[in-house]
Structure 1
Amino acid sequence: MNKNLALLSLVAALGLTACDQSTPQTTNDSPTSNQDKVYKVGLDNTYPPFEFTQNGKLVGIDVDLITAIAKDQGFKIDIEQMDFSGIIPAMQAGMLDIGMGGMSITDKRKETVDFSDPYFAAGVSLVVADTNQDITSLSDLSDKKVVVKNGTVGASFADKNTKEYGYSIIQVSDSASMFQEVTNGTADALMEDYPVISYAIATGGLKLKTVGERLTGDDYGISVLKGKNDELLQMINDGLANLKESGEYETIMNTYLD
């Protein structure tokens, strides 16, 4: 009996020792780091200078900005190019984690998404052909045709004010088509965010011009699905703050707006 008890005691001791030796292996299995996470980002690719294709590569302010934020915060991104009006619906369907595309922070959009801190002060401008001397403000749009891009703040503004100013609306799905509508005379004017149209006129040789004061005073933000991704939103805000502090944010802006 005594020998058996001694043998059992030895086996038990060896078992405890084995358990003790295995414990560090368990604690070394740390939670998944940010570097292992890949977030899908939805962008429109026809919105220069914020996103556009150049020499077969997607470039622009939004592309560089979210890439720099991801690097700063230690996570990875996978950019999905799509029509701007489909970005928020894609987020709702679980196909995207982050929405950008020069997305203005509006109360309507806040019903669906949470926005980061603002990263760009924008605003909608009224745009006409460079030879047009008749339209200088909204009050000149009676019985005129105004073209807008689906899903944009410009489109929303146009829709809300059509009765007051008496114009009709033409809707298109991309910026190039919108510019062409005014250039070829199918539409009398368009409504577009001022940095986008200013860049397009300056670099694209468009025969267009902005008139009057800006129609709205919007800020752009980076969006995540409302109430579903607070941790990611915090990383985006932290990364944005770090880029502004380091000067990298200014470098990105100057690359496209200098």
Structure 2
Amino acid sequence: MKSTRLVAALLMSAALALGATAHGARAADADALKVATDATFPPMEYTENGARAGFDVDLMNALAHAMGKEVQWTDIDFKGLVPGLVAHRFDIAISAIYITPERAQVVDFTEPYYAGGLVALVKTDSPIKTLADLNGKKVSVQVGTKSVNFLQAHYPQVQRVEVEKNQEMFDLVGVGRADAAVTGKPAAYQFARTRTGFRVLDEQLTTEKYGIAVRKDEPQLRDALNRALEKIKADGTYAAIVKKWFSSK
């Protein structure tokens, strides 16, 4: 009987411990912002020495701090960000996402947090001098980005070469399999600064604004992020992050 009571007591203790652990995990989850990104787009988001880095990463961490939260990151291909958000795989997507009418029909966005736009990157010795020179050329773009539809609509004579990753676009230009890459301004200038033999055309294709995406059924989360953005702009944190990543621009 004594051993039976001992076993029962041990089982009860284990159950209580497991319950406490589960409660603790739920509490930790409640204090975490579940955020997804495609960390392949320097200087906005990328991996360095096995850790995420970049403007968006620093910004999201600052916003979370202002909200009294932690960040629980998920890495996903860019084309999966909006579908994954809608499917409740995570609650926030930040990955140099342009605010577009098409995306705004599916998800909500915070107030814009940075201005960018589409630009064309070519090799230094390329004969391409203006945007008009892109017509008839092979231009690499990343699937799921605005570059694809924009070129299709405005530069129908361009031969689009669609790739999965941002780095692949630049690699194709480097080896001559594409004449240009059309991508976001920050990434193009970052690449041209850190690799010899490339330049960005002076004229932009578009001027766009980046936003943080949330589900349409989470207006309170969108509003909380907007309040946090106002807070870090007021206390100088935002300016410090911009200076860190774009001081040479």
- Are 1:71 and 2:71 counterparts? no
TM-superposition CA deviations, 1:35-72 (whole Å, max 9, x none)? 93322111011111111111211111111111111111
- Can you give the 5+ residue segments of structure 1 that lack an aligned partner in the other structure? 1-31
- Are 1:235 and 2:224 counterparts? yes
Residue in 1 aligned with 2:17?
none
Residue in 1 aligned with 2:175?
184
Give the distance between the partners of 1:206 and 1:149, measured in 2 at CA: 22
Give the distance between the partners of 1:59 and 1:221, measured in 2 at CA: 18
Kindly report structure 1 stretches of 4+ aligned residues shifted beyond 6 Å. Answer: 32-35
Instruction: Tell me the secondary structure at the aligned position of residue 64 of structure 2.
Output: helix
8 Å contact from structure 1 (residues 149, 172) kept in 2: yes
Aligned residues: 222
RMSD of aligned Cα (Å):
1.7
The structure-2 alpha-carbon separation of the partners of 1:183 and 1:140, relative to structure 1 and needing over 3 Å to count, comes to same
TM-superposition CA deviations, 1:196-239 (whole Å, max 9, x none)? 11012112x1422111411111000101012x101111110000
8 Å contact from structure 1 (residues 35, 74) kept in 2: no
TM-score, structure 2 length as denominator?
A: 0.85
| Residues 120-139 of structure 1 mapped to structure 2, 5 A cutoff | 120-132=114-126, 134-139=127-132
The structure-2 alpha-carbon separation of the partners of 1:35 and 1:72, relative to structure 1 and needing over 3 Å to count, comes to farther
TM-superposition CA deviations, 1:121-160 (whole Å, max 9, x none)? 101111211111x212232123211110111122221222
The structure-2 alpha-carbon separation of the partners of 1:244 and 1:33, relative to structure 1 and needing over 3 Å to count, comes to farther
Give the distance between the partners of 1:48 and 1:110, measured in 2 at CA: 25
- Can you give the 5+ residue segments of structure 2 that lack an aligned partner in the other structure? 1-25
| Residues 66-215 of structure 1 mapped to structure 2, 5 A cutoff | 66-132=60-126, 134-163=127-156, 166-203=157-194, 205-215=195-205
Give the distance between the partners of 2:30 and 2:184, measured in 1 at CA: 36
Structure number with greater Rg is 1
Give the distance between the partners of 1:168 and 1:197, measured in 2 at CA: 20
TM-score, structure 1 length as denominator?
A: 0.82
TM-superposition CA deviations, 1:167-218 (whole Å, max 9, x none)? 2110011111100101111011111111111012112x14221114111110
Letter in 1 for 2:228: G
Give the distance between the partners of 1:255 and 1:141, measured in 2 at CA: 33
The offset of 1:82, in angstroms, is 1.3
